[in-house]
Amino acid sequence: DTGVSQDPRHKITKRGQNVTFRCDPISEHNRLYWYRQTLGQGPEFLTYFQNEAQLEKSRLLSDRFSAERPKGSFSTLEIQRTEQGDSAMYLCASSLGSGTSSSYEQYFGPGTRLTVT
């Protein structure tokens, strides 16, 4: 399968614990995005990388959240001191892009469903 993959698919954690999610984009894609989707809502943008550089962060990305893409390939999203409000589906997407073009299709992974108890 050459699509975007995410691991784990499901994560249940207790409030206050740290969690880390991984995203493997399509191999030739230089852009990688993280989104969060809560029940009954559309996905909301969190952050975006071009290669290894994190170029944009949403105000939704509090200081408990950190994302990395150390070698411009896979990415990790860590949430520290989880809260019940962090319960959501975390989606990763990747695309090809250059300059400021936003017309390149974003390919989404299946998501990681986080439940904080």
Partner 1 sequence: AQSVTQLDSHVSVSEGTPVLLRCNYSSSYSPSLFWYVQHPNKGLQLLLKYTSAATLVKGINGFEAEFKKSETSFHLTKPSAHMSDAAEYFCVVTLQTGANNLFFGTGTRLTVIP
Binding site for partner 1 (CB under 8 A): 3-4, 31, 33, 35, 40-45, 48, 50, 55-56, 58, 91, 93, 97, 99-103, 105-111
Residue 74 or 80: the one with the smaller Cβ distance to partner 1 is: 74
CB of 113 to partner 1, least distance (A): 10
CB of 18 to partner 1, least distance (A): 25
Q: Which H, E and C letters describe 12-75, residue by residue?
A: EECCCCCEEEEEECCCCCCEEEEEEECCCCCCEEEEEEECCEEEEECCCCCCCEEEECCCCCCE
CB of 20 to partner 1, least distance (A): 20
CB 42 within 8 A of CB 31: no
Residue 19 or 109: the one with the smaller Cβ distance to partner 1 is: 109
Residue 18 or 38: the one with the smaller Cβ distance to partner 1 is: 38
Burial classification of residue 99, based on how many CB atoms lie within 10 Å of its CB (0-12 exposed, 13-18 middle, 19 or more buried): exposed
